[in-house]
Amino acid sequence: MTIRTLHKWLSIIIGIQVLIWVLSGSIISLLDQDTVQGRSTYNAMPPVSAIGASPVLFDITELALPANTELQSVRLARVGNKLNYLLDSSVGTLVFNAYTGEAFGVSEAQAQQTALKSYKGTGNWVSNEYFAKGSEELVAKHGHTPQWRIEFDDSINTRVFVSGIDGRVLAHRNCYSQIVDFLLMLHFMDYADEHSFNNLQVRVVAFAALWLAISGLLLVQSSFSRRDFGLKTRTKH
Amino acid sequence: MKASRLSQKLHKWLGLIVGVQLLIWTVSGFYMVLMDIDMIHGDHLVAEQDNGIDLSPEIQKVLNSVVSTSPKATSITLTRLMGRPSILVKQPYQTEVFDAHTGELIPAVDEAQANQLATSYYTGSSAIASTTLLTKNPPSEIGGRALPLWRVNFDDAWGTTFYISPITGELSTRRHTLWRVFDFVWMLHIMDYDERENVNNKILRTVSILALLLVLTGIWYLYFRLDVRGWLRRSSS
């Protein structure tokens, strides 16, 4: 089989995916990453305030933990103006008021206020929605943890995600974030939505693409003549 | 010029201009999809740690006294560090660690201790080749992590390096040869030769558009090579 036939057959078999790679790659490169990643609407939050001189803390041994919870850490920090215990545990993050020991919940009003503070875009607030099992948009990074989604009516459809556990801002996302997620899925051939580029199909096609590129370069080398560059062909003296 | 001749000529010239980068994309892409991402992250090099903590009235007492003497702290965390329950106090420009049982300040990790910790985190059995305390000029491979850090190199086939915090004794990050290769081919893939993170750079934008034209002219040329028109005509008659 000649190099030319190999190049032709590889392009017949994987040409469409090569087009998808180059097209999705170009679009991602052309889209402004500050917008895609929500940095263009994100207003840096003020540094966390100090714990301060505290009155008596609630006894951590008395906290109402689910049975058989194993703890990895207990962090004392302010969330907004409240002092809380944030526990990393075998059942995820648990948050309690550090004075009363009450379980801490992020109210709709708090989530909305946090989202508004973190937003510097030009839109107005539209709506709040609670996702007890997390939003599909954040599942790769934050799993199925509870989240609030606060939507704004700017031109890029910004939505701010606030953690339903500790009330911090998880992400600013917009229509471009969604487009890039889709393009990356195509780029990684991640049709099963595993958020991975280590799948079998992409490995096989990438291997074929490697040979498409090698054969292509060999053809470039063999198919150019001096005439292509306006030079005379070498003549014997 | 006939369309078939034109498509071939354009494809050939675009191949000359961006062919080498196409090869670089396929080689780097193939490496990245082939290598398991958890392995690239070095998960196999790090032993699972017992990081559980138990709460007790004594620990609560120590915690209370640390809290009362650290009003400027932004977070105070009870967690297992260097194999024992500890209290980590974060202040704006200073981090300290106290023993959670005695309340004593734990001194900074020295070289012998850094070696001992590195060995305890390591799944391999190779010896330590060198240990250095980095205080300035952070290597690019640690990303934005703050110094000081102990850098512990192992004498193994992976080229393993552990970075350990001299304050908390925690494994800040780990690097090995395949990670370094991954980082290098990622740089080649996105053509950001300085920071290795900006996909919006002009070189990538220009070359990916040219590559898009290369693929489109290739598909156009293939249309003539395969005589798609004739084939359609024959099959409809």
Domain ranges for chain A: 3-33+180-221, 39-173
**Taking residues B90-107, what's their average pLDDT?**
94
pLDDT grade, residue A237 (50/70/90)?
A: low
Task: Answer yes or no: are the C-beta atoms of A83 and A99 closer than 8 Å.
Answer: yes
What is the least distance, in Å, from the CA of B151 to any CA of chain A? 26
- Mean per-residue pLDDT over chain B, rounded: 95
Evaluated on CA atoms A96, A102, A103, A107, the torsion sign reads negative
* Residues B59, A69: Cα–Cα separation, whole Å: 18
Q: pLDDT digit string (tens) for B128-140?
A: 999 999 999 999 9
Position A224 scores a pLDDT of: 87
- d(CA A196, CA B33) in angstroms, rounded, equals 9
B155 pLDDT higher than 80: yes
User: Least CB-CB distance to B33: which of A50, A197, A224?
Assistant: A197
Q: A102, exposed or middle or buried, with CB in 10 Å at 0-12, 13-18, 19+?
A: middle
Mean pLDDT of A77-81: 84
pLDDT of residue A59: 92
pLDDT in tens, A80-118: 788 999 999 999 999 999 999 999 989 999 999 999 999
Query: Is pLDDT of A71 > 60?
Result: yes
Whether residue B5 is predicted with pLDDT greater than 70 in this model: the reply is yes
- Alpha-carbon radius of gyration of chain A: 27
Which pLDDT score is estimated for B13? 96
CB contact under 8 A, A15 and B218: yes
Helix (H, G, I), strand (E, B) or coil at B52: coil
Question: In the structure, what pLDDT confidence band is assigned to residue A53 with cuts at 50, 70 and 90?
Answer: confident
Q: Which residues of A touch B27 (CB under 8 A)?
A: 210, 213
Return the residue matching tokens 């699972």.
B48
| DSSP letters for B108-149 | PP-HHHHHHHHHHHBSS-PPEEEEEEE-SS--GGGTTPPSPE
Nearest CA to A79 out of A170, A167, A146 is that of A167
Question: Are B67 and A76 inside 8 Å of each other by CB?
Answer: yes
> Residue A165: pLDDT above 90?
yes
| B10 vs B223: CA distance, rounded Å | 14
Minimal CA separation from A119 to chain B, in Å: 24
Q: Do A47 and B74 touch (CB under 8 A)?
A: yes
Average pLDDT over residues A66-86: 90
* Mean pLDDT, residues B5-33 taken together: 97
Name the pLDDT band for A236 (thresholds 50, 70, 90): low
The answer to whether residue A192 scores a pLDDT higher than 90 is yes
Question: What's the pLDDT tens digit per position in B28-54?
Answer: 999 999 999 999 999 999 999 888 898
Q: In the prediction, which pLDDT does A234 show?
A: 61
Q: What's residue A48's pLDDT?
A: 81
B34, B75, B212 ranked by CB distance to A77: nearest: B75
Q: Does B22 touch chain A (CB under 8 A)?
A: yes
pLDDT at A206 over 80: yes
Q: CB neighbours of B234 closer than 8 A, spacing ≥ 6?
A: none
pLDDT band at B62 (very low <50, low <70, confident <90, very high): very high
Residue A235 confidence (pLDDT): 58
Ramachandran region, residue B199 (left: φ > 0; alpha: ψ -120 to 50; beta: rest): alpha
Locate the chain B residue with the closest alpha carbon to A198: B33
- Compute the mean pLDDT over every residue in chain A, rounded to the nearest whole number: 93
Under 8 Å CB-to-CB from B125, ≥6 apart: which residues?
Answer: none
What is the predicted pLDDT for the residue at A131?
Answer: 97
Asked whether the beta carbons of B89 and B97 are under 8 A apart, the reply is: yes
Task: Say how far apart CA B9 and CA A41 lie, in whole Å.
Answer: 46
Q: Specify the DSSP class assigned to residue B101.
A: T
Residue whose C-alpha is closest to residue A173's, from A142, A205, A215: A142
pLDDT band at B1 (very low <50, low <70, confident <90, very high): confident
Task: Of A9-18, A51-60, B190-199, give the lowest mean pLDDT range.
Answer: A51-60
A140 CB neighbour count, 10 Å cutoff: 12
What percent of chain B is modeled with pLDDT above 90? 86
The rounded distance, in Å, linking the Cα atoms of A65 and A83 is 18
Q: What is the mean pLDDT of residues A159-178?
A: 96
d(CA A15, CA B205): 21
Q: Looking at residue B104, what is its pLDDT?
A: 96
Give me the amino acid identity at A43. N
ipTM of the complex in this document: 0.91
pLDDT digits (tens, 9 = 90+) for B182-204: 999 999 999 999 999 999 999 99
| In the predicted structure, residue B237 carries a pLDDT above the cut 80 | no
Choose the mutation target among A198, A200, A223 for the interface with B, i.e. most B CBs under 10 Å: A198
| Structural domains of chain B, ranges and CATH numbers in brackets | 3-37+181-236 (no CATH), 47-106 (no CATH), 107-175 (3.10.450)
Q: For the segment B162-178, what is each residue's pLDDT rounded down to a tens digit? A: 999 999 999 999 999 99
Average pLDDT over residues B16-21: 97
